Amino acid sequence: MKGYRLLCVIFILFHGLCSSSQEINGTSNKALMEKRAREKKILNIFSVVQFRNSPCQSTMTLVGFGVCCVFMISTCGATVTRNCSYIKNPGFPTAYTDTASCTFTIAKCDPSVCDFRLDFDQFTLNGPSGTLELNEGDCNTDSLTSTTTSGQVTPVICGGNAGQHIYLDAGDSATGTAALNFAFTDAGSRIWDIKVTQIPCSANYKRPDGCLQYHTGIDGRLTTFNFDGVVPQHLDAQQYNVCIRQEEGYCCITYTPCATPTPSFALDPAGENDLSKAMVDAMCMEDFIRIEEGRCVGSLNGRNIFCGGILSDANDAEANCPIQDCTQPFQVGVFTNAAIAVANGVTVANGNRGENQGFPPTKDKGGTMTCSIVLK
């Protein structure tokens, strides 16, 4: 019998051997700094607040005005066509207890949009009830499934996800859309309040392609979906990349399991294996994270795949070590296998992955790039 399986790590960016004379597309770092200083000055003078020159639609509720228009939508079947809209459950802030499914569509507010960013200000659905390998992590009563016309594959999520965010690919077409489908098969009290931001392709804060989540800043916390659920069990059948922006002057990133709860890193190596130890690479056949060329600080053992109940670069290690990655871009791939489905007492699928090296896609190291500077 095992406890919860979950994942929470903190990351901290580190100064590395960034050369100050490094060239980025032919522009020296010094020139970039000077350019940015000029831009900062201009922004400081004008304190710009931009509005698109289009009227706020009267069919929606305008609740704020400032950084951008704010709209609220809480009718199932509605389409969000404006930037900075909030998708809320019907009856919000009262919980939604109906079992009818509820779909929202997000349409580009402008052809220049590349991504929809969803910020889960509030997100409580029923989550998985079991913490054992049997039916582990299955969103079996409630689920949010996101689809896009661009064909992006996103994990199905449920449970408690307030504070999490995801990016949806709005696609190349000027009319690209995404759909959020909430589905329920059992009684429950659901609340959701999701901010939708439409991100232009030209934005310098745009996420890199292939990142479901994108963190900025020199430190932060990564958690699996449903980490804040009633039962903080990680969800099954997840495959996605979490990316962390390389901040200027920082060349390495270090991941350490969160101090609380304990354990905060617990991913099944295989079957009912011992979660008191670390496993790496080929030993991780079920649930794992991928940190390419990750290693304990000072160690020579670069690894790609990490699992078990301890985060370390050595199989059977019994103590966590900070895992450092000095190869950009900074990414953590999350992979969890499918739940073991049991029909009439017969195990019909075990979802073991066995071969883990293909997922998530290995990152493109960009040839000989050693340490680039990313503009904020």
Ligand X SMILES: *[C@@H]1O[C@H](CO)[C@@H](O)[C@H](O)[C@H]1NC(C)=O
Given the rule CB under 6 A, which residues bind ligand X?
A: 24-25, 52, 67-68, 83-84, 109-110, 112-113, 197-198, 200, 203
Q: At closest approach, how far in Å is the CB of 125 from ligand X?
A: 27
Instruction: Compute the Cα dihedral for 151, 340, 362, 332 and give only its sign.
Output: positive
Q: At closest approach, how far in Å is the CB of 105 from ligand X?
A: 17
User: Between 44 and 53, whose beta carbon lies closer to ligand X?
Assistant: 53
> Among residues 234, 116, 94, 128, which one has the least CA distance to residue 180?
116
Q: At closest approach, how far in Å is the CB of 208 from ligand X?
A: 11
User: Between 25 and 58, whose beta carbon lies closer to ligand X?
Assistant: 25
* The two structure tokens encoding residue 185: 């098969």
> Among residues 103, 102, 58, 101, which one has the least CA distance to residue 82?
58
Whether residue 144 contacts residue 157, with contact meaning beta carbons closer than 8 Å, is answered with yes
Of all residues in the shown chain, the one whose CB is closest to ligand X is 83
Distances (CA, A) of 60 to 82, 231, 373: 10, 36, 42
Separation of alpha carbons 223 and 212, rounded Å: 13
Q: At closest approach, how far in Å is the CB of 253 from ligand X?
A: 18
Q: At closest approach, how far in Å is the CB of 203 from ligand X?
A: 6
Q: At closest approach, how far in Å is the CB of 106 from ligand X?
A: 12
**HEC string of 226-257?**
CCCCCCCCCCCCEEEEEEECCCCCEEEEEEEE
* The two structure tokens encoding residue 327: 């190869």
User: Between 256 and 372, whose beta carbon lies closer to ligand X?
Assistant: 372
User: Between 64 and 91, whose beta carbon lies closer to ligand X?
Assistant: 64
Place of tokens 């069919």: 59
Residue type, 348: V
> Among residues 164, 224, 192, which one has the least CA distance to residue 76?
192
User: Between 200 and 351, whose beta carbon lies closer to ligand X?
Assistant: 200
User: Between 248 and 281, whose beta carbon lies closer to ligand X?
Assistant: 248
